[in-house]
Chain A
Amino acid sequence: MAIFEYAPAPETVKAPIREQYGLFIDGKWTAPRGGQYFETVNPATEETLARVAHAGDEDVDRAVRAARKAYDKYWRKMRPADRAKYIYRIARAITERSRELAVLETMDGGKPIKESRDFDIPLSAAHFFYYAGWADKLEWAMRAGEEPKPIGVAGQIVPWNFPLLMAAWKVAPALACGNTIVLKPAETTPLTALALAQIAAEAGLPPGVLNVITGDGATGAALVGHPDVDKIAFTGSTEVGKAIARSTAGSGKRLTLELGGKAAHIVFADAPMDQAIEGIVNGIYFNQGHVCCAGSRLLVEESVHEQIVVRLTDRIQTLRLGDPLDKNTDVGAINSKMQLDKIKELVGTGIDEGAVLVQQSCELPERGFFFPASFFTNVQQSHRIAREEIFGPVLSILTFRTPEEAVEKANNTPYGLSAGIWTDKGSKNMYIAQYLRAGVVWCNTFNQFDPSSPFGGFRESGFGREGGVHGLREYLAH
């Protein structure tokens, strides 16, 4: 019998959810012209949370026109210090409503409440605070001879893994630089973006400066193809990113893409081993592995492979999988049925290819979309599970013999978003880091973020940077 079993510890704050949401265009909630709505469900219970408007081409056009009008009428002309006041107001409102936003994010997306509470929402607010401070100091982001000018209307398309945070990464710098926005959240996680629209309205942001339209891929494609959009910022899959790059080519639209990844997470034999295990766990099981920069490809020095497998096998048994609203849950729900099917398919491929699967042994909840924390050993570079992004709580473990081989294997991927290194030698950390083709390299840590630090990819992980002064420059015409 269990002698110290954690009792349920549900988050008790309630998030206000409307039965139905319209589109937030020109400062008002409006019905979609086509009259179509879709449902957003809680992936942990499969219950419908709300009906959300589907924006058709006409709605996209209305939103872009509203953004254009607001750009010309208010936002580009406003004193930068006044723009900052609105952004600060939004930042404060997110902080004040952090608990209910965390609950909303967890209910709509399935991530554990401890992550939405301690990571997504505070970091979202931090981005607004950070970029608010930049609004009247833009000349300091410029090179000699450059003058900061806004670009115009930005179309921003965000994914379902960090819904509010990804919106914050895009909205905050765009506003600070004087651009207006049409934001499209992901189909499965629209609720916190809609809450952000409400916050913007309550902050008195002039109508049309931030428009939020919900819908599916067709809505996103209409936004990307709209002739009066000056800039597209997209975070999501490499496949869609490529389609966007093709469709915007030659249009004069500026483009930033933050796409997939298959990050190498390198553990040397001299690593602080227990902390490396924590880094591995954080790297792949954080947000159920729905992380574009997840450390999904573990490269371990052959001499410590066995002990890492032993330690990791024990460690994943202590992960608590279940109700995302429980404060002690470590692994929440997979975002959607579609994603769950994709994870299962790739895991099946891994087994067929001869890799050995290790999983946490726990009962999965009867309802909802869940997948246990898993890892594969005996993975080879040629396996699909070593090359393709699984975007789930599934780690592939490979080995290397020398630092050169580690670097070679790490870079042997079309992606290049993030990487991690674990070694007790500072010099080795820095030496290896300079050879890794990845936008961010974490040394003896993983998944660390800060608004002042740029983030973005190499090659098929995209281009352009978000965060820091680099992220700011993506929204300036110079």
Chain B
Amino acid sequence: MSVTVDAVMLEARAGSLAKRSIKTTAKVAGIRLAIGCMDLTTLEGKDSHGRIRSLCAKALHPAPHLPDVPSVAAVCVYPNLVPAAKEALRGTSVKVASVATAFPSGQSSMEVKLADTAAAIAAGADEIDMVIDRGAFLSGYYRAVYDEIVAIKAACGPVHLKVILETGELGSYDAVRRASDLALEAGADFIKTSTGKVGTNATFPVAVTMCEAIRDYARRTGRRAGLKVAGGVRNTKQAMTYLVIIKETLGESWLTPDLFRIGASSLLDDLLMQYEKQLTGHYAGRDYFPMD
């Protein structure tokens, strides 16, 4: 039985965390952290091998002219593009994550979902981002959702599993909390907010709720699971707020790519622009940063 969540107070709490003032040295450290914890993502129908190669180049060296900017944690792509990404990132620290299980809707048979996962792993994926069956969850078939996660986790073996709750479709914070607890109990290495493919993606209150679930689970079992926020994280200020949320609910020890990821695409450019601003005191135009 999950603890219940009061929306009014939760949103007030998230709002107060969003008001933390992150300046100067904190901002520089925060931007580096956010880049180092990023899953640089492309999940579009028009993704091609060429697009993956250029994304991977940027993932490895986000801004060659800026000192101390780390590589991102991973790139996140569709399963069929995993080989291209692995090829481009061979011998580097950047991991390749693949979405699977009939992403983004999860509307397919269990056989297809398992095959989808197995194919991504066979192609070399280091991490799997699965989606839960929201239809089953909203119908109250929690056991089915749980069993599915357990099955995918078994198929993953040592490969890291992130479980996407698609919180924008769950309808309430109580449901977010329940889905978080369920995924954690089923063995998720990470729980992840969103696919980025529906109207509402990661929000601050949702992130707070998921952090609280992770914290309570760690307190109960000793196992530390991670959080991935994804979708709609476009600017540095939002990224800093997610770092604040992690720091003040889970603690600083969670601020590592092993336990925290931001799934994003355009965010990286804003982080780099803000980083350069902190170093030089003025903004450079977008054209001073490589595209992608």
Interface residues of A in 255-272 (CB under 8 A from B): 270-272
Report A-chain residues with C-beta under 8 Å of the C-beta of B33: 3-4
A444 in contact with B252 (CB, 8 Å): no
B26 in contact with A272 (CB, 8 Å): no
B20 in contact with A328 (CB, 8 Å): yes
B252 in contact with A3 (CB, 8 Å): yes
Of B13, B21, B212, which is within 8 A of A328 by CB? B21
Chain A residue with Cβ nearest B3: A273
Q: What is the distance, in angstroms, from B178's C-beta to the closest C-beta of chain A?
A: 13
Chain B residue with Cβ nearest A2: B252
A4 in contact with B252 (CB, 8 Å): yes
Beyond A3-B33, A4-B243, A4-B255, whether A274 also contacts B248 by CB under 8 A is: no
Is A220 interfacial (CB 8 A cutoff)? no
Is B110 interfacial (CB 8 A cutoff)? no
Of B6, B21, B23, B26, which is within 8 A of A275 by CB? B6
Identify the A interface with B (CB < 8 A): 2-9, 114, 118, 270-276, 278-279, 310, 318, 327-328, 424, 444-445
Q: What is the distance, in angstroms, from A283's C-beta to the closest C-beta of chain B?
A: 11
Chain A residue with Cβ nearest B253: A3
Interface residues of B in 144-175 (CB under 8 A from A): none
B13 in contact with A6 (CB, 8 Å): no
Report A-chain residues with C-beta under 8 Å of the C-beta of B9: 272, 275, 278-279, 444-445
Is B12 interfacial (CB 8 A cutoff)? yes
Give Cα distance in the complex from A475 to B1, angstroms.
53
Q: What is the distance, in angstroms, from A279's C-beta to the closest C-beta of chain B?
A: 6
Of B6, B23, B24, B25, which is within 8 A of A272 by CB? B6
Is B263 interfacial (CB 8 A cutoff)? no
Of B3, B27, B219, B255, which is within 8 A of A3 by CB? B255
Q: What is the distance, in angstroms, from A2's C-beta to the closest C-beta of chain B?
A: 7
Identify the B interface with A (CB < 8 A): 3-6, 8-10, 12-13, 19-27, 29-30, 33, 212, 219, 243, 247-248, 252, 255
Q: What is the distance, in angstroms, from B136's C-beta to the closest C-beta of chain A?
A: 25
Beyond A5-B26, A7-B25, whether A275 also contacts B5 by CB under 8 A is: yes
Q: What is the distance, in angstroms, from B25's C-beta to the closest C-beta of chain A?
A: 5
Report A-chain residues with C-beta under 8 Å of the C-beta of B6: 272, 275-276, 424, 444
| 30 interchain pairs, CB-CB under 8 A | A3-B252, A3-B255, A4-B29, A5-B26, A5-B29, A6-B21, A6-B22, A7-B23, A7-B25, A8-B23, A9-B21, A272-B3, A272-B4, A272-B9, A272-B10, A273-B3, A273-B4, A275-B5, A275-B8, A275-B13, A276-B6, A278-B9, A278-B12, A278-B13, A279-B9, A327-B19, A327-B20, A444-B8, A445-B8, A445-B9
Give Cα distance in the complex from A274 to B243, angstroms.
19
Give Cα distance in the complex from A275 to B174, angstroms.
12
Give Cα distance in the complex from A7 to B278, angstroms.
13
Chain A residue with Cβ nearest B248: A318
A274 in contact with B3 (CB, 8 Å): yes
Report A-chain residues with C-beta under 8 Å of the C-beta of B10: 272, 274-275
Q: What is the distance, in angstroms, from B262's C-beta to the closest C-beta of chain A?
A: 14
**Other A-B pairs, 16, CB within 8 Å; known A3-B33, A5-B29, A276-B6:** A4-B29, A4-B30, A4-B255, A7-B22, A9-B21, A272-B6, A274-B3, A274-B5, A274-B10, A275-B6, A275-B8, A275-B13, A278-B12, A278-B13, A327-B21, A444-B6
Q: What is the distance, in angstroms, from A461's C-beta to the closest C-beta of chain B?
A: 25
Give Cα distance in the complex from A278 to B24, angstroms.
29
Give Cα distance in the complex from A444 to B12, angstroms.
12
Q: What is the distance, in angstroms, from B56's C-beta to the closest C-beta of chain A?
A: 27
Q: What is the distance, in angstroms, from A119's C-beta to the closest C-beta of chain B?
A: 11
Q: What is the distance, in angstroms, from B44's C-beta to the closest C-beta of chain A?
A: 32
A270 in contact with B24 (CB, 8 Å): no
Report B-chain residues with C-beta under 8 Å of the C-beta of A424: 4, 6
Closest 5 CB pairs of A and B: A275-B9, A9-B21, A272-B6, A327-B21, A275-B6
Report B-chain residues with C-beta under 8 Å of the C-beta of A118: 19
Give Cα distance in the complex from A74 to B69, angstroms.
69
Chain B residue with Cβ nearest A11: B21
Give Cα distance in the complex from A7 to B30, angstroms.
11
